Amino acid sequence: MSTALDGIRVLDFSRILAGPWASQLLGDYGADVVKIERPGSGDDTRQWGPPWLGGEGGESAYFLSTNRNKRSVTIDLKTDAGVDLARKLALEADVVIENFKVGTLARFGIAAESLRDSNPRLVFCSISTYGQHGPKAHMPGYDAMIQASGGLMSVTGAPDEDNGGPQKVGVAVADIMTGMYAATAILAALTERDRSGAGQTIDVPLYDSQVAWLANQNMNYLIGGVVPERRGTAHPNIVPYQVFETADGHLMLAVGNDSQFRSCVACLGLPELADNPEFASNSSRVQNRRTLVDTLGIAFAERTTADWLTALTDAGVPCGPINDLREVFTSDYATERQLVLKQTHPLDNELPAVANPVRFSKTPVCYDKAPPLLGQHTEAVLREWLGYSAGSLDSLREAGAI
């Protein structure tokens, strides 16, 4: 069965997370993704364990999380033969993704402009910390510093009055969202190429991406003029919309409109709150947040989480448990929706992987390739993409290029 990106070739020079996340998505959708890695060491995340698949020295769980549906080719860009080989591969690609320090590939003669002279249909996507131009373009960076400097940590964590402080998110979400922006931009550029016949260059900075997806928090500041505060699990614009303690744990309540609020307080045995002008509308509830939350908190503490989840769900009030990952992956929902799948890997015939959440009706997501071993596909790719013979491959090995 065909996939959405059948016939699209992606040459991926990126490493760590943002770029690999983008290329994994393209691979999921059927593109032929070739990952270029350093001989001997490869992507930095191959060393980011434990845990390891196959024991110490095997494959790190981190690397496995973001590199399926790719083929690994090792090329030493410190050699002239390696640079020449990388350029030849780029001229056969539809898409190039890179996240080197700004200007690095240009020094190798693999800049977007020079490649497009010979491959005018090429879509060239650069991911960096602060973009390809500007006063900070030369500066490197990692996810945590972007979560901090890009505003996310200022709105994440418990408030000061609750003895809280700034917190980063538990996954590298700035990297992941940058990868998502990059993937959608590449798909948009490929669509435009179908009309114009020409590729283009894409510049996706981590910092700009982090700022962009702060969404309503951005507009709260730009329209309201007040710097958003940390509110823990609470929502800045909707009340009640946060975690509440129960008799034996916690639950997340997500009341999104006045009708749901009326159902919620009726379920809690506090129906009079719905007619109280201090709480009758969301706007008034936001203004009187502390009083309302304290009142609801007393009621929630009287029954167990399971009791409240049943009662609130039956009343049509959005809520949910706070599950750890064991609970997530052992749930009936995970089984029914096939959230975990198995892939055949050289180190494990049943390597678990988390499914792509997208479900296509015609062009299914591809799971053909498990994350590759370092250099696993070097010979195969060079034969397929460039038509290299065994003798040519031997010469590249002798030159230290692969």
Catalytic residues: 175
- Strand ranges of the sheet holding 32-37, from the earlier edge strand across to the other edge: 70-74, 32-37, 9-12, 95-98, 123-128, 201-205
Nearest to 318 by CA among 308, 332, 328: 308
d(CA 47, CA 43) in angstroms, rounded, equals 8
CB burial readout 373-400, b (16+ within 10 A) else e: ebbbbbbebbeebeebeeeebeebeeee
Nearest in space to 73 (alpha carbons), one of 35, 105, 103: 35
List 60's β-bridge partners, or say none.
52
Rounded CA gap, 400 and 206, in Å? 34
What are 320's two structure tokens? 């949910």
For residue 348, give the H/E element and its range: strand 348-354
At 193, which amino acid appears? R
The one-letter amino acid at 140: P
Nearest to 278 by CA among 269, 268, 264, 288: 288
The one-letter amino acid at 254: A
Checking 142-146 for CB contacts under 8 A at 24+ apart, the result is 142/16, 143/17, 143/172, 143/173, 143/174, 143/175, 143/206, 144/168, 144/172, 146/174, 146/206, 146/207, 146/210
Q: How far is CA 324 from CA 53, 306, 321, 328, 331, in A?
A: 22, 16, 10, 6, 11
